[in-house]
Structure 1
Amino acid sequence: MKKFQAIIHFDMDEQFMSLVPPHRTYINYLINKNIIDSYVVSMETQTVWITFNAETKEEVSTHLDKSPLKKYWDYSVEELFVYDGQLYRLPSVQLN
C-alpha cells in the first residue's frame, strides 16, 4: 500500500457549512477503515491536507469525489516517498 497526500483548496458559500456534518461522517468512516491516516484543515488559507493509504492516485480521487463537499474543492494528489512522525516511533523509555 502506498501513501498519497491530497492538497485541497476550497471556497465556502452559505450551503458549505450545512454539508460539513455529512462530510465529517464520511471522513470518519475512511479514518476508521484505515484509508485516511491524517486529516488537517486550515480555515485561514481554506486548505485541507489528507494523507491516504491507497494503491493509485485514481483510488484517492475516487474517495475524494464521494465527499459531499466535492463541488467546493480544487485538489491535487501526490504520491509520498517518506512519511514519518511521532506515531511511527517506538515509545520513549520512562524509568520509575
Structure 2
Amino acid sequence: MKTFLVNIKFDFTKDFMDYVPEHRTYVNMLINTNVIESYAVSMETHRSWIIINAETKEEVEKILVKSTLYQFWTYEIDELFVYDSQNFRLPKLELN
C-alpha cells in the first residue's frame, strides 16, 4: 500500500455548506477503515489536505470523486516517499 497527499483548493460558494454533512460522513467512514490517515481543512485559504492510503493515483481519484464536495475542488495528488508523525511513535514515557 502506498501513501498519497491530496492538496485541494476549493471554491466556497453559497451551496458548499449544504454538501458538508454528507462529505463528513464519507470522510469519517474512510478514516475508520484506514483509507484516510489525516484530514485537514483551512477555511481561511480554502484549502484542504488529505493523506490517503491506496495502491495508485487512479485509486485515489476514485475515492475523491465519491465525495459530495468533489464538484468544488481542484486538486493535485502526490505519492509520498516518507510520511511520519507523532501518531506513529511509541507513547512518551512519563514517570509518576
TM bin (shorter chain): over 0.9
Matched ranges for 1:16-31 at <5 A: 16-31=16-31
Q: How far, CA to CA, are the matches of 2:71 and 2:6 in structure 1?
A: 16
1:51 is the counterpart of 2:46: no
Matched ranges for 1:1-96 at <5 A: 1-96=1-96
Percent sequence identity is 57
Cα offset, 1:12, TM superposition: 1.3
Cα offset, 1:62, TM superposition: 0.5
Cα offset, 1:94, TM superposition: 1.5
Q: How far, CA to CA, are the matches of 1:93 and 1:32 in structure 2?
A: 27
TM score, norm. by length of structure 1? 0.97
- For structure 2, which runs of at least 5 residues remain unmatched after alignment? none
TM-align CA RMSD? 0.6
TM score, norm. by length of structure 2? 0.97
Cα offset, 1:13, TM superposition: 1.1
Q: Which amino acid aligns with 1:74?
A: T
